[in-house]
Structure 1
Amino acid sequence: MLVSVAAGLLGLATQAVALSTIAAKGSKFFLSTGEQFYNKGVAYQLTDSDPLADTQQCQLDAALMKTLGANSIRVYHVDPTADHDGCMSAFSDAGIYAWIDLDTFSTYILADEPTWNQTQYSAYQKVMDAFHDYENVAGFFVGNEVLTIGTDSVAAPYVKAAARDMKAYRDNKGYRDIPVGYSAADIAQLRPNLQNYMACGDNSSESLDFFSLNAYEWCGSSSYDVSGYVFLQQNASDYNIPIFFSETGCNTPAPRLFQDQAAIFGDDMSGTWSGAIIYEWIEEANNYGLISYGPSAAATATETGVVGGYTRSGTPTPISPDFDNLSSQWATLSPSGVSMAAYSPSNTPPACPSYTSGLWELSGNVPLPTIGQKFNTQSASATATSGASTAQSTGSGSGTATSAGSSSGSASSASSTASSAAIRPRNLVGSLFTDFTSHWYGKLVAGLLILVVL
Structure 2
Amino acid sequence: MLSSFTLSAVPLLLAGLQAATVNAVPTISAVGSKFFYENGTQYFIKGIAYQLKPHDPLIDTAQCKRDIVRMSELGTNAIRVYHVDPSADHKGCMDAFAAAGIYLFVDLDTFDTQINQDAPQWSHSQYDAFTKVLDEFQQYDNTAGVFVGNEVLTTSNGSHAAPYVLAATRDIKAYRDKKGYRQIPVGYSAADIAELRPMLQNYLACSHNASERLDFFSLNAYEWCGQNTYQSSGYSGLQAAAADYNIPIFFSETGCNTAKPRTFDDQAAIFGANMVDTWSGSMIYEWIEETNDYGLISYGPSVDPATATDPNVEDGYTRQGTPTPVMPDFDNLKAQWATLNPTGVALSDYKKRTGSITPVACPSSTSGGWAVDPSAPLPSLGQSFKKGAEGSAITSATQSGTSAGTSTSTNTSASSSQTSSAASPAGHHASSVPSHLLTVSVLLSAGIGAVALWL
Query: 2:144–2:184: 8 Å Cα contact kept in structure 1?
Result: yes
Give the aligned partner of residue 198 of structure 2.
Answer: 192
1:328 aligns with 2:338: no
Query: Which structure would you say has the larger RCO, counting Cα contacts within 8 Å and 6 or more residues apart?
Result: 2
Deviation for aligned residue 1:358: 3.3
Greater C-alpha Rg: 2
The one-character-per-residue Cα deviations of 1:228-272 (angstroms, maximum 9, x if unpaired) are 000000000000000000000001110000000001011110000
For 1:35, give the aligned amino acid: T
**How high is the TM-score relative to the length of structure 2?**
0.80
Distance 2:44 2:161 in 1: 30
Match of 1:373 in 2: 383
- 1:315 matched to which residue of 2? 322
The alignment partner of 2:158 has SS state of helix
Q: C-alpha deviations, 1:392-450, integer Å up to 9, x for none?
A: xxxxxxxxxxxxxxxxxxxxxxxxxxxxxxxxxxxxxxxxxxxxxxxxxxxxxxxxxxx
Aligned position for 2:363: 353
1:146, distance to aligned residue in structure 2 (A): 0.4
When structure 1 is superposed on structure 2, of 119-128 and 375-384 the one drifting more is: 375-384
Q: Is the 8 A contact 2:32 2:247 kept in 1?
A: yes
Question: Quick check: 2:23–2:141 contact (8 Å CA) kept in 1?
Answer: no
Quote the Cα distance in structure 2 between the aligned partners of 1:209 and 1:364.
Answer: 18
Q: Quote the Cα distance in structure 1 between the aligned partners of 2:114 and 2:386.
A: 18
Q: Trace 1:279-318 onto structure 2 (pairs within 5 A).
A: 279-300=285-306, 301-318=308-325
Whole-Å separation in 2 of the counterparts to 1:193 and 1:17: 39
User: AA paired with 1:322?
Assistant: D
* Code of the aligned partner of 2:334: S
Q: Deviations over 1:365-417 (max 9, x none)?
A: 32100000121211793359xxxxxxxxxxxxxxxxxxxxxxxxxxxxxxxxx
* Residue in 1 that maps onto 2:76: 70
Query: Does the 8 Å CA contact 2:23/2:94 hold for their aligned counterparts?
Result: no
- Give matches, 1:119-130, under 5 Å: 119-130=125-136
| Structure 2 CA distance for aligned equivalents of residues 369 and 383 of structure 1 | 11
| Superposition deviation, residue 357 in structure 1 | 3.0
How far did residue 201 of structure 1 move? 1.7
Match of 2:178 in 1: 172
Q: CA deviation at 1:165?
A: 0.4
Alignment of 1:46-445 (within 5 A): 46-300=52-306, 301-343=308-350, 344-345=353-354, 346-378=356-388, 381-382=391-392
2:320 maps to a residue whose letter is: S
Measure the CA separation in 2 of the matches of 1:194 and 1:137. Answer: 26
1:200 CA displacement: 1.0
Aligned equivalents of 2:178, 2:86: Cα separation in 1:
20
The question of whether the paired residues in 1 share the 8 Å contact of 2:217 and 2:247 is answered with yes
For the residue of structure 2 that corresponds to 1:40, the secondary structure is: strand
The alignment of Structure 1 onto Structure 2 pairs a total of residues equal to 371
Q: 1:98: how far off?
A: 0.3
Instruction: Tell me the CA shift for residue 356 of structure 1.
Output: 2.0
Shift of the 127–380 alpha-carbon distance from structure 1 to 2, 3 Å rule, reads farther
Whole-Å separation in 1 of the counterparts to 2:85 and 2:393: 38
Distance in 2, matches of 1:294 and 1:252, equals 23
Q: Secondary structure at the match of 1:150?
A: coil
Alpha-carbon distance between aligned partners in 2 of 1:255 and 1:313, rounded to the nearest angstrom: 25
Q: Distance in 1 between matches of 2:387 and 2:54?
A: 33
Identity %: 62
Equivalent residue of 1:176, what SS? coil
CA distance in 2, matches of 1:365, 1:328: 47
Q: CA deviation at 1:105?
A: 2.6
Following the alignment from structure 1 to structure 2, what is the Cα–Cα distance between the partners of residues 355 and 143?
22
* One-letter amino acid of the structure 2 residue matched with residue 56 of structure 1: A
Q: Return the letter of the residue paired with 1:348.
A: T
Q: d(CA) in 1 for partners of 2:227 and 2:262?
A: 9
Runs (4+) of structure 1 moved beyond 4 Å? 14-17
Preserved CA contact (<8 Å) 1:20 1:135: yes
Structure 2 gaps, min length 5: 1-18, 395-455
TM-score (norm 1): 0.80
What secondary structure is seen at the aligned counterpart in 1 of 2:282? strand
Maintained 8 Å contact 2:23/2:140 = no
Instruction: Say which is worse superposed, 29-38 or 146-155, in terms of deviation.
Output: 146-155
CA contact (8 A) 2:156 2:193 kept: no
The 2-side partners of 1:304 and 1:201 are apart by 48
- Distance in 2 (CA, whole Å) between partners of 1:17 and 1:265 is 29
AA partner of residue 304 (structure 2): A
Q: Report the residue type matching 1:374 in the other structure.
A: S
Residue pair 1:154, 1:380 contacting (<8 A) in 2 also: no
State the 1:17 CA deviation.
Answer: 6.1
CA deviation after TM superposition for structure 1 residue 19, in Å: 1.7
Q: Which residue of 1 aligns with 2:434?
A: none
* d(CA) in 1 for partners of 2:156, 2:145: 27
- Aligned match of 2:424: none
Supply the AA of the counterpart residue of 1:255. Answer: P
Q: Is the 8 A contact 2:109 2:148 kept in 1?
A: yes
* Alignment-derived partner of residue 432 in structure 1: none
Partner amino acid, structure 2, of 1:123 = A
Q: In 2, Cα distance between the equivalents of 1:327 and 1:184? A: 26
Residues in 2 aligned to 1:94 and 1:17: alpha-carbon distance in whole angstroms: 11
